[in-house]
Structure 1
Amino acid sequence: MAFQCQRDCYMKEFITSVVSCCPAELKQEVNGKKEILKGFNVILQDTVLFPEGGGQPDDRGLIGEVPVLRVTRQGSDAVHFVSSPLEVGQEVRVKVDWERRFDHMQQHSGQHLITALADTMFGYKTTSWDLGRQRSTIELDTPSVKAAQLQELEEAVNEKIRSHVPVHVQLLSLDDPAVEKVRSRGLPDDHAGPIRIIDIEGVDANMCCGTHVTNLSHLQVIKLLGTEKGKKNKINLIFLAGNRVLKYAEKSYSTERSLVSLLKTGPDEHVEAVDKLQKSVKLLQKTNLSLLRDMAVLIAQNFKNNPERGNIFTVKHYLADSFSWNNCFICFKETLVFLTVGEEKGPGLFLLAGPSGPVAELGPRILEILQGKGAGKNGRFQGKANSLARREEAEALLRQHHSSQEE
């Protein structure tokens, strides 16, 4: 069965009726956490909302005033997940989120065009593709694509767009001999009804259930951003089509203006300016590290030369090189040295060094106070602290232990 969204991909609204509505659950991820949303699965007589398939995400939209949160295909039915129930038999107006739909149409038709020409021009077969939220990728069965080939391919696809090549949809029966002549990665096990063919006139005929433009001119433009290493002996070709290219250009120009203001140079000099800044930062970091090490040595010497230094010494620093500080203070065999590195109330590093007995006893307790992870042996206990806000409690524990030993 072909849904109305497949018969007329440009239709934005459609009046139909509710066939069934039953309670259901939707698993979704919100801010990295999986949640289960209770709602209803609705089947309509027909729909302009595309169910996920062919590498294309599903549509969003409204049934009446009720938002559709998910559309999936089950056999010959499109199942709409909604949060509120709908009355069976009632007539409803279905509206599609057109911006999302047209974006998917441009990316999907763009993928067909790129795939066809990559095969025709270079013999690179497409093994899969992904329509992402910001950019799309085509997995090509080749270990690499040369820069010259990428440029040639981009010029070729945009020439087809400028040529206003028509895109036709054909519905063929499964036993039609023409089916054998089109590209396909196979039909789903629950496929029902005729075979849908997307035919880019004179360029490509491909079995596909997705929504597409009716003319390549509707793609506006395609930009090939480059390639990334994919699975073994395969490459991922990254591309943008249509409105995504315009949004990308707008975002890039906004970034360019910001860099002009920050770097005080023109766009052509940005790379050189950033390179100089990085080298300056590295030099400053090296100088800063040297100063921190010198400061650590001076503090350690001052403590060592102090006749009233006692048996506990605590040091806290925000931007210290912990290795240098550790080496300066662990030489005090009879002194408990407690060092922390990091912001006053944030995460950081800590070290407890000194006599092996007290260190072995107090190290785990300090670890618990600082809510961290660590370990120790031979008079040295160190690790990461999740919160240095309780540093004073750790110091109090050390003093309390020292007082008890003197008694």
Structure 2
Amino acid sequence: MLKDRIYYQNAYKKTFKARINGNGVDSEGRPYVLLSNTAFYPTGGGQPHDTGTIEGVRVIDVEEVDGEVRHFLSEELHSKKDVEGAIDWERRFDHMQQHTGQHILTAAFVGLFGFQTISFHLGKGLVSIDLDIEDVTAEQLTAAEKLANEIILENRPVETKWVTEDELSQFSLRKQLAVTDEIRLVIIPDFDFNGCGGTHPSSTGQVGLLKIISTEKQKRKVRVHFACGGRVLQQLHWKHEELSAASKLLSAPEDGVSNAIERLLTSHHTLEKSLEKAKEDLLSFEMKNLLINKNGSIVKASFTDRTVQELQKLARMIVAEDDSAIALFVAESEDRLQFVAARGVSAGTSMKLISAKVLPLLHGKGGGNDAFVQGGGERTMASEELLSVMENTISN
């Protein structure tokens, strides 16, 4: 029976003895053993599996398959029938802290605002719950976190109780249960009654501390990321290192980092505007220089590693300055050619003639209208050769 498993009898048991009842290899080639009883918790209910050793061989995964707990090993175990197992206590206790913290935070959201939790994930760095709401305010997050930490600080007992389906009516459960046999309740008196198959500490005080880290929208739900116990210290250490590094880079005290970043962003935006104006001035100068050296009505040039957006802007500046001009530009990169062709309002030639001629030669794609076309494709010829094809197309 489930209730007889060691991890339910005593979640604090770090070593145990058992008999090997069987072994096997799964479809992925992973060897496993079956034990007469086990302290290793198998993955389930949002809580990851335990790790540890059996007779010194690493237990890398634990899964329940068809009612039997499979202990997957790093190598095959050749041993006597009676073996000793040892769980990774640091991992187990971390999971106990995080899982109980989830119960407390979930109950806080329900008790304060009626927000139900619809899923729970215990990850390596953070824990998350999905609330069945579309939005949550900063004030609501603060209130739920405050209540959760009050429950932790009160060091209330965390009780477990096995009940039958008929006995459920005696308890004010937080949510409906999916199971109907071997029902295990986890109870924080006068605060939370919930069906759960995970491992938990004996009191809320052992959760240590709970901190909400962030939230995100998830398909009309809100995902709340948080950490408990030792993970809060890990988060604090990491954030302190990041803040300290930012403080040094900005030559600002840690409590002045946000102000220093704001000043830096303001300076950056000013520089961006200045750079954009300088680019416009350079394009204007380039436009005038090209018009001075035009051949009849045609202004043509080839460039290396020039963006097509710059070519578009330059071509439009030219035909706006001289409505009789036709601008033909080509930009080449390592393996690609791109072109732009534009005409002024007084020029009668359709630029579609150019794209119709050039695109098949480049095995390329493009588009536009009678006044302006653009496109690009493979580098099947030199840029100067492509310019000549474009010019000849409208000259003939």
Instruction: Identify the match of residue 154 of structure 1 among 140, 145, 153.
Output: 145
Matched ranges for 1:6-405 at <5 A: 6-25=8-27, 38-64=29-55, 66-82=57-73, 84-86=75-77, 90-176=81-167, 181-188=172-179, 194-225=182-213, 227-232=215-220, 234-306=221-293, 313-316=301-304, 322=310, 323-328=312-317, 336-339=328-331, 350-353=338-341, 356-363=352-359, 366=362, 375-378=366-369, 380-382=373-375, 395=383, 398=386
Matched position secondary structure for 1:10: coil
**What is aligned with 2:346?**
none
Residues in 1 aligned to 2:17 and 2:292: alpha-carbon distance in whole angstroms: 90
Contact in 1 for aligned 2:128/2:226 (Cα 8 Å): yes
Q: 1:263 corresponds to which letter in structure 2?
A: L
Residues in 2 aligned to 1:101 and 1:358: alpha-carbon distance in whole angstroms: 71
**What is aligned with 1:30?**
none
TM-score when normalising by structure 1: 0.75
Higher mean C-alpha displacement, 179-188 vs 112-121: 179-188
Residues in 1 aligned to 2:360 and 2:192: alpha-carbon distance in whole angstroms: 68
Contact in 2 for aligned 1:21/1:87 (Cα 8 Å): no
How many Å apart are 1:108 and its aligned residue?
A: 0.6
Any stretches of 5+ residues in structure 2 without a counterpart?
Answer: 343-350
Cα shift readout 1:19-63 (whole Å, capped 9, x = no counterpart): 3333324xxxxxxxxxxx543454333333322222222333444
Cα 1:335/1:38, change in 2 over 3 Å: farther
Cα shift readout 1:348-396 (whole Å, capped 9, x = no counterpart): 995443754453344365476xxxxx5324462336x9xxxx9796637
Cα 1:214/1:180, change in 2 over 3 Å: closer
TM-score when normalising by structure 2: 0.77
Higher mean C-alpha displacement, 121-130 vs 394-403: 394-403
Contact in 2 for aligned 1:313/1:336 (Cα 8 Å): yes
Residues in 2 aligned to 1:5 and 1:259: alpha-carbon distance in whole angstroms: 45
Higher Rg = 2
Cα 1:358/1:231, change in 2 over 3 Å: closer
How many Å apart are 1:110 and its aligned residue?
A: 0.5
Residues in 2 aligned to 1:199 and 1:392: alpha-carbon distance in whole angstroms: 74
Contact in 1 for aligned 2:247/2:253 (Cα 8 Å): yes
Q: Aligned pairs, how many?
A: 377
Residues in 2 aligned to 1:195 and 1:162: alpha-carbon distance in whole angstroms: 29
Residues in 2 aligned to 1:48 and 1:345: alpha-carbon distance in whole angstroms: 62
Instruction: Identify the match of residue 4 of structure 1 among 6, 16, 19.
Output: 6
Residues in 2 aligned to 1:58 and 1:83: alpha-carbon distance in whole angstroms: 15
* Aligned-pair Cα RMSD in Å: 4.0
Cα 1:334/1:184, change in 2 over 3 Å: closer
How many Å apart are 1:264 and its aligned residue?
A: 2.0
Cα 1:144/1:334, change in 2 over 3 Å: closer
Residues in 1 aligned to 2:6 and 2:381: alpha-carbon distance in whole angstroms: 69
